[in-house]
Amino acid sequence: MNRKMFVLTLAALTTLSVTAAKAQKAPLPTTYTVTETIGMLGEPFSVQIARHGNLGYMKHVKPGTSIVSSLTIIQIDKGLEYTWDPAAKPLECSKSNFSGSWGDPFEDGVSMLADLNKMNPKPAGTEQFLGQTANILVADGPPTMGKVKVWVDAKTGAPLKITTTLPGAAPKVFSEFTALSYAAPADALFKIPPTCTAPAVDNVALADDAQIAKLTNDDPHNYVRAIMSPESKDTCNVTYKVVQAGTMKPIAPTFTVQVDIGGTMHKLVSATHDGVYRIPNIPSNFNLETSFGDSSGDSFALIHRTCFGPETVLLYVIKNPAKATDGGDYYWVKSGKYAAPKK
């Protein structure tokens, strides 16, 4: 999970009301370097985010290591981002367009906290946090989170730290700034490798097609990624299945499925022994949680509605059900043998 996906999932899971965000006086910083730990799913991972005006930078580190998994340079005003694995030989770079959030921790944090308002948090004092005064808020979160505690920067209204505590368990770090500097980052940090700017085929589309083909063992044009797809104006009912990557064999429902619609989690019951779950009249986007147990892990995803008929199939193609953290992907099926039969 990268930081932008974490922000989307966090927004779907939390509903915080933060008066500090509304009272914000200082403009949000556009020059800074932040190191953030994200522990929402599985083993925590670290990301460094820097910004200098219209240039952004992200460095993701593999969980439990100091190995850099990817570097990204963002041209904020142009809506362009360049991503590469610095250890790859030869170095291959993907170039893509984006709109909306690029992953700014201050902008994302203030927007999220200002919009989500159903948990009615209570003030719990102030603390000094990385040299900043933080207003502390506590709230009763949804069952998947338990008690929520947030350290909100009194100056910017951004969440500097979030912890969750389930009944009988120790607090867990959801996200936390571990370093913060408002000094200008070095210009060299924003240097784009020549490979990224050279004329090339659409590496992003090719990489997506290759990943879909690998996971489904099928024609990638039969599928649309559910976490990135444009939202359909039409509504539809959803048939949700969890299948094994490669074989596409349905996985027996030894897992639990919950869907967050309108801020309320609804537990789904399998309609068949093969693990078919039906979600009627889905909204334009919804959070989906599939839990495989304490030893296997959970999968959270913010799904964007894409309808290919009155009944549309949504697949979670998972690599290893015994270890959900190995990953997988969510796909709408638009055609082919796994699509819903036409009526």
Query: Are 299 and 316 within 8 A, CB to CB?
Result: yes
In a domain, 253, yes or no: yes
Residue-wise pLDDT tens digits, 74-120 = 999 988 899 998 888 888 788 888 777 888 988 887 776 764 556 78
Residues 23 and 171 reside in one and the same domain: yes
Which residues are bridge partners to 330 per DSSP? Answer: 316
- Angstrom distance (rounded) from CA 77 to CA 296: 41
Contact 287, 300 (CB under 8 A): yes
110's enclosing H/E stretch is helix 105-115
Three-state secondary-structure class, residue 106: helix
Give the range with max mean pLDDT: 32-46, 74-88, 140-154.
74-88
Residue 132: per-residue pLDDT: 92
Residue 20 is predicted with a pLDDT of 40
Q: Identify the CA nearest to 216 among candidates 315, 297, 321, 342.
A: 315
Assess if residue 341 is contained within a domain.
no
Cβ neighbour number for residue 45 with a 10 Å cutoff = 22
Flag whether 266 is in a domain: yes
Domain shared by 131 and 59, yes or no: yes
CB neighbourhood size of 31 (10 A): 13
Does residue 338 lie in a domain region? Answer: no
Domain CATH code at residue 132 = 2.50.20
Name the band, by pLDDT with cuts 50, 70 and 90, for residue 8: very low
- The verdict on residue 343 lying in a domain is no
Q: What is the pLDDT of residue 282?
A: 84
Q: Are strands 45-52 and 55-61 parallel, antiparallel or unpaired?
A: antiparallel
Asked whether residue 264 is domain-assigned, the answer is yes
Please answer whether residues 150 and 109 qualify as being in contact, where contact means their C-beta atoms are separated by less than 8 angstroms.
no
CA dihedral (237, 219, 288, 165) in degrees, to 10, reads 170
Same domain as 138, residue 49? yes
Q: Is residue 339 part of a domain?
A: no
Check whether residue 17 and residue 136 sit in a common domain: yes
Residues in CB range of 186: below 8 A, 6 or more apart: none
User: Coil, strand, or helix at residue 12?
Assistant: helix
Number of domains in the chain: 2
CA distance 148 to 139: 5
Could you tell me the CATH number of the domain that includes residue 230? 2.60.40.1120
> Is the pLDDT score of 145 beyond 50?
yes
pLDDT in tens, 236-279: 999 999 999 999 999 988 888 988 876 677 888 887 777 899 98
Residue where one domain finishes, among candidates 136, 165, 197: 197
Map tokens 């999968």 to a residue: 299
* Ordered DSSP codes for 54-76: TEEEEEEE-TTS--EEEEEEEEG
Mean pLDDT computed over 40-68: 87
Q: Could you tell me the two tokens for 332? A: 């709408």
Domain membership of residue 340 (yes or no) is no
Q: Which domain holds residue 180?
A: 3-197
Q: Give the Cα-Cα-Cα angle 177, 44, 193 (nearest 5 degrees).
A: 75
- Shared domain for 64 and 190, answered yes or no, is yes
What angle (nearest 5°) sits at the alpha carbon of residue 95, between those of residues 93 and 96? Answer: 145
Residue 231, both tokens: 């939202």
**pLDDT band of 206, cuts 50, 70, 90:** low
> In the sheet where 93-97 sits, what is the strand order?
93-97, 80-84, 68-75, 55-61, 45-52, 31-38, 172-181, 159-165, 147-153, 132-140, 122-129
